[in-house]
Amino acid sequence: MQLRAFGSTGLRVSAIGLGAWQLGRSAQWPDGPDPTEAVRIVHTALDAGVNLIDTAPGYADGQSESNIGRALTGRRRDEVILCTKVGYHPDGSPNWAPGAVEASIESSARRMNVDHVDIVVLHNPPPEILDGTTGEHYQVLQQLRDKGTIRAYGASVDWGADIDTVLTTSASDALEVRLSALYQEPWQALGRARDRGVGTLVKVPLESGWLAGRYDADSVFTDVRDRWTRADVVLRAGLVDEFRELLPDGVSLLDGALRFLLHYDAVSTVIPGTKSLAQLHSSLAAAAEPLPTETFRAIRGWYDERLAAQPLDW
């Protein structure tokens, strides 16, 4: 597994990380793994060289961090770099009081059975908190970094303008950013983050499963993806077909989607959501070969022509 510098933080993270939103059987993910399978997924990832796990207090109805804790029992702490979030309680209710930040991080560490968390990001905060000139959260996180409680901090965001807000109003050195072949809106801003020495985790790299080849125009969703209208589903299915045509022979949708992101030097790690060993193995295999530069350029050009004027909503 390739290791990449996480900005200027001194951390080195695996090119493929473990996205743990689905690491538990929950109302959002009724087909998610039970605790035994969740532990097996984490152990398999670590044994394969994955060293970055991304989670949050509310992931899998609060089970994600607890399942990670079960998996890390008896493992070396230096095997893993843990990223979690603040802003919501495990039950999903908001928790944006500045005074609650440290307690939230401590609770996450207890659930994960560790003495510290490495990276902490604000969990898609409202604008008045994302902007460091109006909120106190970055100052609290800076104090915790100065004390050595955490090693890096920042925010989880979706748009290029949000990245710029974080860069210009805080001393953040970590960002979690939505980016995929079908959603490249933050591309230029991510480059500015790289130039500032900020490490980046790319979330939703498979566009909620579309770029894993799981869905088509006839797919029907009953989980959190039921937000898409029938027109949304048809549009995404067509875009996936167009993207597939850009890939070299023998490169699957999933491989192409992850290799495209890993081709960009502003990306520190990609964190595909994982709820089975099969999904984990597919993600790990994608990092084995680079994407040809001409294919990378073709995908960038296709996006600029096809989607840049009207980026896909999540």
Tokens of 162: 């949000």
> What pLDDT does 92 receive?
86
CA 136 to CA 241: how far, in whole Å?
45
Whether the Cβ atoms of residue 39 and residue 87 lie closer than 8 Å to each other: no
3-214+254-289: CATH superfamily: NADP-dependent oxidoreductase domain (3.20.20.100)
10 Å CB burial of residue 299 (0-12, 13-18, 19+) is: buried
Residue 157 φ then ψ, to 5°: -140, 170
Tokens of 8: 């200027």
- Pick the closest to residue 78 from 41, 56, 49, 51 (CA basis): 51
Whether the Cβ atoms of residue 90 and residue 55 lie closer than 8 Å to each other: no
Ordered per-residue pLDDT tens for the chain, 314 residues: 899 999 999 999 999 999 999 998 887 777 889 999 999 999 999 999 999 999 999 999 889 999 999 999 999 999 999 999 999 998 889 999 999 999 999 999 999 999 999 999 999 999 999 999 988 999 999 999 999 999 999 999 999 999 999 999 999 999 999 999 999 999 999 999 999 999 999 999 999 889 998 888 888 887 777 888 899 999 999 999 999 999 999 999 999 999 999 999 999 999 998 988 999 999 998 888 899 999 999 999 999 999 998 998 88
> Distances in Å between the alpha carbon of 293 and those of 46, 155, 194, 304, 310?
30, 30, 20, 17, 25
> What pLDDT does 29 receive?
77
